[in-house]
Structure 1
């Protein structure tokens, strides 16, 4: 489990643990070995591999499970099958968000409040002068960030957290019962397609959109841009070597082969104005970007 020391700000460096991995051949040597073994195991133990990929066998205490997952991801990387990678992540988080929130609950105090809240303070000042009716947190996790925001924007009456794990949402409903917070189970993009409206701020924290396809992130931003007086506040991770000034594409990256998106470019393309941008790099290799944008 990471400690507070592992989230300290570090110099700007390219870290191979969190760099872009376009194909298995670009992965570090030890990871390539795990890929090769995993692909063989996935072929030999096909039933087990199918269960891991579909999400019916999520937790992986056994080394075989971890190797098989590596083999499945290696095949998807080799075939440049981003949809398959996305589905692997989606199947995982639809069942594991509750456990993650329990294991990493310290991140609110040791990461968000220490390092990332500065971006939201820019948002709070913006909404001192502009009307805000709804705050929607995509991938709300344990709800602590949404609760914090609800305490800072008194004029806003609707705070909704969306998460793909029904167990996580049920736990939040029980924990925050009686508060001005609503929690919904579902896919964030599907929900937004029917619920997006004016005077709304979309928000993510801790890495959420990294599990969405390039086209899905574009659609989320465009849905928000179709409404008046909308804003987006993001706390996301990107590849340690992703050049956000020049490279506008999306790439698999890091330990779990999530997607490194150029959020600045995609927001500008959707017509948003960047009000705040900052980033920090951490001892564990993570590179975090914090963005607040308005339309």
Structure 2
């Protein structure tokens, strides 16, 4: 079906039916829309057809938020509480369906980068480790790195990760704000990683400050796998833009890394789930 036909079907079939279901099932609508982030991200496989149609209607009606500070605070409040663990559990399959087939190529490129440097990188830090699957995978892919630290805002999720990966002695899981952790514990000879939606929750000034701080630690490499709006042209609009229904922030990652003094050794983008979303891959080093 062409994009034009899909849009017509959405406007003239899905939305009217969704609006009717919202009126007929107000309690179900309330449950679905209890939190913007879960409303946006809950996997379709966990929803009935009627729930999915209702969700389309609810997403269409979401109020626009323009206050960047309010957005950042709202998103942080979600990721720090117990609701985050439910979403991480819901998204567990995406490690196999998205990360493995679509994202691992950049770590093959990282292996090449590491093989061509005399610097011994002994630590890998994943900012926003979520359910720990990516960090566990990387610990097997990079046997010469001895320490793997997963940082996440959610104390509940960190405790679950400690339990789940207790047999992997290379892994450490820490409940902390990444900015504070790097300021207190960061050091050189470290690879930093984010995977599929972490830096998008940082306000631009704080993200720039984080990159500046990491550059000041000594020799570091940063792999950022982050979403961007497909309509965000970095050349025409270098500043951060709002992205998605949550909303979060579509940052110009290459520019922010360069501003902090990093060199970009890899940049690419892929369509992510739908035409309005891009997955951006950046490899930076100092």
TM-score (norm 2): 0.76
Higher deviation after alignment, 260-269 or 147-156: 147-156
Q: Does 1:162 align with 2:151?
A: yes
* Match among 111, 114, 117 for residue 127 of structure 1: 114
Moved over 3 A (4+): none
Residues 97-120 of structure 1 show CA distances to partners (whole Å, capped at 9, x for unaligned) of: 211221111111111110111111
2:281 is aligned, of 270, 290, 293, to 290
Partner of 1:103: 90
Which residue of 2 is the match for residue 178 of structure 1? 167
The RMSD of aligned alpha carbons is 2.6
Corresponding residue for residue 229 of structure 2: 239
1:260-281 deviation per Cα after TM superposition (whole angstroms, max 9, x unaligned) = 1000111111111111111111
Superposed displacement of residue 52, structure 1: 7.1
Q: How does 1:246-257 map to 2 (within 5 A)?
A: 246-257=236-247
Structure 1, 240-249 or 202-211: larger mean CA deviation: 240-249
Indicate yes or no: 2:99 matched with 1:112: yes
Equivalents in 2 of 1:126, 1:216: separation in Å? 28
Question: Whose RCO is larger (CA < 8 A, sep 6+)?
Answer: 1
Alignment partner of 1:138 is 2:127: yes
Contact 1:280-1:288 at 8 Å conserved across structures: yes
Tell me how far 1:140 sits from its aligned partner. 0.3
In the TM superposition, residue 286 of structure 1 has moved relative to its aligned partner by: 2.0
Cα offset, 1:70, TM superposition: 3.9
SS across alignment from 1:84: helix
Between the aligned partners of 2:282 and 2:207, the Cα distance in structure 1 is: 14
The unaligned stretches of length 5 or more in structure 2 are 8-14, 20-33, 37-41, 43-50
- Write the deviation string for residues 28-50 of structure 1: whole angstroms up to 9, x where unpaired: xx8xxx9xxxxxxxxxxxxxxxx
Instruction: Give the equivalent residue in structure 2 for 1:85.
Output: 71
Does residue 204 in structure 1 map to residue 199 in structure 2? Answer: no
Asked if structure 2 preserves the Cα contact closer than 8 Å seen for 1:120 and 1:292, the reply is: no
Conserved 8 A contact 1:237-1:260: yes
Structure 2 CA distance, aligned partners of 1:246 and 1:149?
35
CA apart distance, 1:283? 4.3
Q: Deviations over 1:184-211 (max 9, x none)?
A: 0011111111111110111100110001
